[in-house]
Structure 1
């Protein structure tokens, strides 16, 4: 049993974006040449999760976007944040962040709709987001000319630790009252 736990732990660790229990089952059945029950996979995942809850571990096993992956524990975020600050070339511009936010909240959305919201051309931002695999082409619109529709990718979900788009903060939680126009009526 310990060998199986180590094999699955290695799979999770080596998986670039996370791995689903179904993928774990498929790989392990190929390696072991015998069938595994779903409950066995889940009990092994629970054991791995328990082991990584110990104080001396810097990572924990988490399920994000229906897949398991190792993530750094929150108490180390400040240290990791410093590393990220030094990797400026991977940062998104303000324009790209705005475009990404519009896509996340309004998906599926066309480039024209994004440009109407932002008020400027967004060709470059959309291209950069596609290159960084934070957005994907989600199909074509039924409107005239059948423009491309954009949506967020699994990498976007992984990067922001979301299981679904419903986990995005509600806009009213983000916008401060001081940013409103006009006077409140009682």
Structure 2
């Protein structure tokens, strides 16, 4: 078995080459090491990069890890890179995404019932952006499709897991939240760069 220094170095190289979030399971197989040991090494690296104030940070995404740019450096990255228009989600898309995020797995009928309007085209749009996916079928009448958020959703909004969503104890009462409804919170996060930390 390799020592910690060698494995940390290997994890850095793998994250750099892989590009996408690197799963602990996959990294452990490459290193022929225990998954818990590898995850602890990922977390150690994450802390080290943050403590050193480096421009590159390590972010956890649904049990995987990837390199991201430090959020405070966004202004410099924007100046360096050719401006690219960031497509923002429409109000309808944010509403549907919030419902799915907080109620998942959820059927289209349930989404329509909450919104009071058909949501099929909006769901299709979210699926084309890889923010929403099919989670299976309901046991209800007609066995309608169930929808859930994806790993791409977590990456876009800067969540390590779905448990990081803002706590809403009663989803049916979200209209009472005048300043911070779930879709408004998602809107704030979505407007940032998908490759920046804490966006």
User: C-alpha separation between the residues in 2 aligned to 1:10 and 1:118?
Assistant: 46
Deviations 1:39-82 (A, max 9, x none): 76356535643553323x31112323221111222322455689
Cα RMSD of the aligned pairs, angstroms, is 3.1
TM-score (norm 1): 0.73
Unaligned runs of 5+ in 2: 182-199
TM-score (norm 2): 0.69
SS of 2:113's equivalent in the other structure is helix
SS of 1:171's equivalent in the other structure is coil
More deviation, 107-116/71-80: 71-80
Q: Does structure 2 conserve the Cα–Cα contact (< 8 Å) formed by 1:17 and 1:158?
A: no
Q: 1:76 aligns with which of 61, 73, 78?
A: 73
Q: Does structure 2 conserve the Cα–Cα contact (< 8 Å) formed by 1:17 and 1:155?
A: no
SS of 2:22's equivalent in the other structure is coil
Count of equivalent residues? 169
Q: Does structure 1 conserve the Cα–Cα contact (< 8 Å) formed by 2:61 and 2:151?
A: no
Deviations 1:120-150 (A, max 9, x none): 2211111111111111111111111111010
User: C-alpha separation between the residues in 2 aligned to 1:99 and 1:43?
Assistant: 36
User: C-alpha separation between the residues in 1 aligned to 2:40 and 2:95?
Assistant: 42
Unaligned runs of 5+ in 1: 29-34, 180-186
* Structure 2 CA distance for partners of 1:115 and 1:150, relative to 1, 3 Å: same
Higher relative contact order (CA 8 A, sep 6+): 2
Q: Which residue of 1 aligns with 2:114?
A: 117
Q: Which residue of 2 aligns with 1:175?
A: 177
SS of 1:52's equivalent in the other structure is helix
